[in-house]
Chains A and B, each alone.
Chain A
Amino acid sequence: EDQVTQSPEALRLQEGESSSLNCSYTVSGLRGLFWYRQDPGKGPEFLFTLYSAGEEKEKERLKATLTKKESFLHITAPKPEDSATYLCAVHALVFGKGTRLSVIA
């Protein structure tokens, strides 16, 4: 059974304080690891797809990396507008419970 576990559940950062979110997964043959951002009262918004170990993708202050067992979403010098829940999913079907990020000015 495919499983996705995200940690931490919640993360509070000061503006400019870099950190990483973790997504551990167990699947029988990875066909895509997806990262989404979800704002309160909104649907998830696509950020990245990673396919193979060693792959990295960047978008503004966010960088996603992938190993054979986990993915990290690195946030560099975050701003308050980065506050959201970040979701990861495998095969775009099985989602983790998310990490709720709060960035304080």
Chain B
Amino acid sequence: NAGVTQTPKFQVLKTGQSMTLQCAQDMNHEYMSWYRQDPGMGLRLIHYSVGAGITDQGEVPNGYNVSRSTTEDFPLRLLSAAPSQTSVYFCASSYGMSAGNTIYFGEGSWLTVV
């Protein structure tokens, strides 16, 4: 079982460049989400999706776009990278958002914007 797979693992971008962080899960989970983790800030929710075709904003959505065309994939797009987006990004998935649905996390994507 692959679980939640994120690519790339590491990426360096120049300010203003765009890129997409890929996330795929093979557990047929309806709920997928993206978090960023910064020192002293904990995990903060960027965007989430409760199913194909449905996305919503989390706590820190500015500068990021998402789409959910399939159940399996939930890419995160940085439209014009800024140094403030230097962070570790985690994709996660679960059967749903209700209580009892364990969230499974990917291994993370380390992004540096210079």
B residues contacting the other copy or chain, number (CB 8 A): 26
Q: Which residues of A are found within 8 Å of B104, using beta-carbon distances?
A: 46
B90 sits at the interface (CB 8 A): yes
Docked Cα-Cα span, A67 to B75, in Å, equals: 38
Q: Which of A47-105 contact B (CB under 8 A)?
A: 49, 51, 87, 89, 91-98
Evaluate contact between A91 and B105: CB separation under 8 angstroms.
no
Evaluate contact between A32 and B100: CB separation under 8 angstroms.
yes
Evaluate contact between A31 and B102: CB separation under 8 angstroms.
no
Task: State the total of A-B contacts with C-beta under 8 angstroms.
Answer: 55
Docked Cα-Cα span, A94 to B45, in Å, equals: 8
A residues contacting the other copy or chain, number (CB 8 A): 22
Evaluate contact between B105 and A98: CB separation under 8 angstroms.
no
Evaluate contact between B43 and A46: CB separation under 8 angstroms.
no
Contact partner, B105, options A31, A44, A51, A97, Cβ 8 Å: A44
At the interface with chain A, which of B64-72, B76-84, B91-99? B91-99
A34 sits at the interface (CB 8 A): yes
CB distance from B46 to the nearest CB of A (A): 12
Which 3 A-B residue pairings sit nearest by Cβ, starting from the closest? A43-B105, A32-B99, A97-B42
Known: A36-B105, A95-B44. 4 other contacts (CB 8 A): A32-B98, A44-B43, A46-B104, A93-B58
Residues of A within 8 A of B (CB): 31-32, 34, 36, 41-46, 49, 51, 87, 89, 91-98
Residues of B within 8 A of A (CB): 4, 33, 35, 40-45, 48, 58, 90, 92, 94, 97-108
Query: Can you list 28 A-B pairs, Cβ within 8 angstroms, ordered by A?
Result: A31-B98, A32-B99, A34-B102, A41-B108, A42-B108, A43-B92, A43-B105, A43-B106, A43-B107, A43-B108, A44-B43, A44-B105, A45-B105, A49-B100, A87-B42, A87-B43, A91-B97, A91-B99, A92-B94, A92-B101, A93-B33, A93-B45, A93-B48, A93-B58, A94-B45, A96-B42, A97-B40, A97-B41
